[in-house]
Structure 1
Amino acid sequence: MTSNKEIIDFVLYWLRKNARSGQEVNWTVAITEEHTMIISKVGGVTSQTRGMALLCQSIKEQPWRASLKGVYLAKTFTADGVSNHAEMCILAAADSLGQKVEHMKCASDNCEACAHMLQYAKVNTMNGAGGAAMGWIHPRGCMALGTTLNDYWNEQIKELDRFNEAGEPGDFKHTFTQHQASEPQGGYEDLLKGAYRHDGVPGC
């Protein structure tokens, strides 16, 4: 039986080799406890993202495809697409699907905010923790942080942890982080049913 890690590594390798966009290094793949795959990158992915129809066909050809209950693309979850990190797009999409992410791997290290959020969500990440992020949006609550806000990154991370530990309260006092006006909402598409070629023609 093919392991979650082997399946994730296959898809990440395929994306690095075949998906041509401005964010090749930031692709992320996850598998939920319900054995559903979710794929994303910085700013989210849709069925019309270049390469998704070919990825759909490649996944359908794999012997482990039958073990997956679904394959989804995680879209952006707030209007600020730049700060929608791939890992958080997946976490938000999984929440909307009513599922829990079990394993996740990004093509590069998780930023420190993502690492802390994944630890809080009890996700088995296959990455190490990187450093600060210029911008980062919480996938479950109205919080933003990043070095573009201020230079107190370590305090922002501590505040993120307090926010999570408190249950993401609406009346949380933001000192080093920023309150976001809109609630995050995970979005997703079914890759195996909705993939389109880049020219808009159904491709899978």
Structure 2
Amino acid sequence: MTWIADQPFSKNSNFTVAVYGANDLIITKVGGITDKADAAQQIFAEIKSQSMHTGRRIFLAQSFTTDGSVSNHAEMCILAAVGAENITYIRCTAPNCKFCKETLQAYKVNNGNAGPLDGKSQVGWRHPFLRISFGTQLPGTPDQQLDELKEIHRTGEVPARPAYGQRSSGDPASGNFFEVTFD
């Protein structure tokens, strides 16, 4: 993760790496990533040079929703792809936004970014499993929205008329990831 955080491509987009299952890795960035992306090619070269692919599989997570301006945060791309229960550890190149941090905590994901630092306010954020979105483009303060998200996590249900969030138009896509092969 430190190597990715130090790369120029990481300055433009938050990247996330998670341990998937016992030892495999799943990698993505905000909006998801494909194997054709220049950043992915650089990451693959580093993985090969360090033999990090030996004895484990490497996966890339892609976006999980096309809901307008709602952002596919990197952490949520991974959760949507493989399920929270399959993540052993997750870490981002930048602090988690409050919505991601709350969701990782609610689903009991071991978060390497847990702590007092919060990422900046978000224009858009989409839940990886439920039909709900939050962000600065919606009514309410970030704290009011976060309280509503906490209540949704507590009950497991999205209200018919959220006070601060917005019901999303479709279900998030699950399983949107693929294995990278190394020669």
CA contact (8 A) 1:39 1:74 kept: yes
CA contact (8 A) 2:152 2:158 kept: no
SS of residue in 1 equivalent to 2:59 = strand
Distance 1:14 1:188, change over 3 A: same
Which residue number corresponds to residue 79 of structure 1? 66
After TM superposition, the score normalised by the length of structure 1 is: 0.77
Match of 2:102 among 105, 110, 116: 116
Shift in Å, 1:67 = 3.3
Distance 1:20 1:106, change over 3 A: closer
CA contact (8 A) 1:42 1:82 kept: no
SS of residue in 2 equivalent to 1:185 = coil
- Partner Cα distance (1:159, 1:39) in 2: 29
After TM superposition, the score normalised by the length of structure 2 is: 0.85
SS of residue in 2 equivalent to 1:125 = coil
Unaligned runs of 5+ in 1: 1-8, 194-203
Shift in Å, 1:54 = 4.0
Which residue number corresponds to residue 88 of structure 2? 102
SS of residue in 2 equivalent to 1:13 = helix
- Residue pairs, 1:1-204, within 5 angstroms: 9=1, 12-14=2-4, 16-17=6-7, 19=9, 22-23=12-13, 26-68=14-56, 70-80=57-67, 83-95=71-83, 100-127=86-113, 128=115, 129-130=117-118, 131-167=120-156, 169=157, 172-186=160-174, 187-192=176-181
Q: Which shifted more, 123-132 or 105-114?
A: 123-132
CA contact (8 A) 2:106 2:153 kept: yes
Cα offsets for 1:2-51 (capped at 9, x unmatched): xxxxxxx3xx414642647842xx11111023322111111110111113
Unaligned runs of 5+ in 2: none
Cα offsets for 1:124-143 (capped at 9, x unmatched): 11114415322100000000
Distance 1:173 1:49, change over 3 A: same
Query: How high is the sequence identity, in percent, across the aligned residues?
Result: 31
Supply the RMSD in Å over aligned alpha carbons: 2.4
- Partner Cα distance (1:58, 1:153) in 2: 38
For these two proteins, the number of residue pairs brought into alignment is 178
Letter of the structure 1 residue corresponding to residue 7 of structure 2: K
Q: Which shifted more, 52-61 or 111-120?
A: 52-61
Shift in Å, 1:163 = 1.1
